[in-house]
């Protein structure tokens, strides 16, 4: 783990404590919204439930609008915390706008470098860190947030593992929600602005796929 990634981990632990201590009511509201008023314990267990809670905290910190001004908890933490060092503020400003998006493994080279394509924005990400590429193979799809740290990439913590056969379904759902967003909220909005405002979209489609599997 590089210097920036270690610093990010430490700061995020502080942000979670800050939110719990000063915005407890917001956590309950955000939790209900994130899970669409459902109880994740009723359809998730084991590692999937653990992933679900990590995904919630990641979304809560990066994407949840904590006030009417549209500020996130990263924004509020920077404003409210005293004694933050310059490198801590610089790191938070560097990563706070990074989006959660949908990626597909395009190739895995002989030297184990993995190339990902962002299926919604079109950008590509090259990974070589062993912890990130372990088990990945061509055709895998997942939603994640990749942070540019230590000269490479680190995941923020959030990941939504989808099966390759679910690709069309996930893309169709995101596109449907994006069209609704443009029609009802932001006619000039681009996919990036949609993902910033509705990063929870991936949790909804991930949750619905799991629920549908349980019913069949």
Contact 44/56 with Cβ under 8 angstroms? no
In a structure prediction context, what are the per-residue pLDDT tens digits for the chain, which is 216 residues long?
A: 789 999 999 999 999 999 999 999 999 999 999 999 999 999 999 999 999 999 999 999 999 999 999 999 999 999 998 889 999 999 999 999 999 999 999 999 877 789 999 999 999 999 887 777 788 999 999 999 999 999 989 899 899 999 999 999 999 999 999 999 999 999 999 999 999 999 999 999 999 999 988 776
- Same domain, yes or no: 83 and 8: yes
Distance CA(61)–CA(148), nearest Å, equals 17
Label residue 214 exposed, middle or buried (CB < 10 Å: 0-12, 13-18, 19+). exposed
Q: Which of 164, 179, 196 is the last residue of a domain?
A: 164
Contacts for 118 with CB less than 8 Å, ≥ 6 apart:
101, 102, 103, 124, 125
pLDDT score at 200: 96
- Same domain, yes or no: 107 and 123: yes
- Same domain, yes or no: 24 and 86: yes
- Same domain, yes or no: 131 and 155: yes
- Same domain, yes or no: 107 and 34: no
Contact 104/139 with Cβ under 8 angstroms? yes
Contact 115/124 with Cβ under 8 angstroms? yes
Contacts for 35 with CB less than 8 Å, ≥ 6 apart:
56, 203, 207
Q: Is 141 helix (H, G, I), strand (E, B) or coil?
A: strand
- Same domain, yes or no: 8 and 87: yes
- Same domain, yes or no: 38 and 78: yes
The structure's pTM equals 0.93
**Residue 87, both tokens:** 């490198």
Q: Work out how many domains the chain is built from and give that number.
A: 3
- Same domain, yes or no: 140 and 208: no
- Same domain, yes or no: 32 and 59: yes
Q: State the CATH number of the domain containing residue 139.
A: 2.40.50
Q: Which domain holds residue 152?
A: 101-164
- Same domain, yes or no: 145 and 74: no
Phi and psi dihedrals of 65, rounded to 5?
-85, 110
């Amino acid at each position: 783990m590089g210097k920036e990634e270690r610093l990010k981990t430490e700061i995020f632990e502080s942000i979670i404590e800050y939110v719990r201590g000063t915005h407890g009511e917001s956590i309950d509201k955000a939790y209900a919204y994130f899970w669409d008023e459902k109880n994740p314990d009723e359809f998730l267990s084991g590692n999937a439930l653990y992933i679900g809670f990590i995904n919630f905290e990641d979304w809560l910190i990066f994407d949840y609008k904590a006030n009417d001004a549209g500020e996130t908890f990263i924004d509020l933490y920077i404003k409210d915390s005293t004694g933050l060092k310059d490198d801590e503020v610089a790191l938070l400003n560097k990563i706070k706008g990074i989006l959660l998006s949908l990626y597909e493994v395009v190739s895995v080279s002989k030297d184990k470098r993995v190339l990902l394509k962002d299926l919604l924005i079109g950008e590509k990400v090259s990974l070589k860190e062993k912890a990130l590429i372990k088990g990945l193979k061509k055709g895998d799809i997942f939603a994640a947030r990749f942070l540019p740290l230590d000269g490479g990439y680190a995941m923020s913590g959030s990941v939504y593992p989808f099966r390759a056969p679910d690709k069309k379904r996930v893309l169709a759902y995101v596109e449907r929600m994006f069209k609704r967003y443009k029609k009802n909220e932001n006619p000039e909005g681009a996919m990036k602005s949609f993902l910033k405002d509705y990063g929870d979209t991936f949790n909804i489609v991930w949750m619905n796929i799991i629920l549908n599997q349980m019913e069949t």
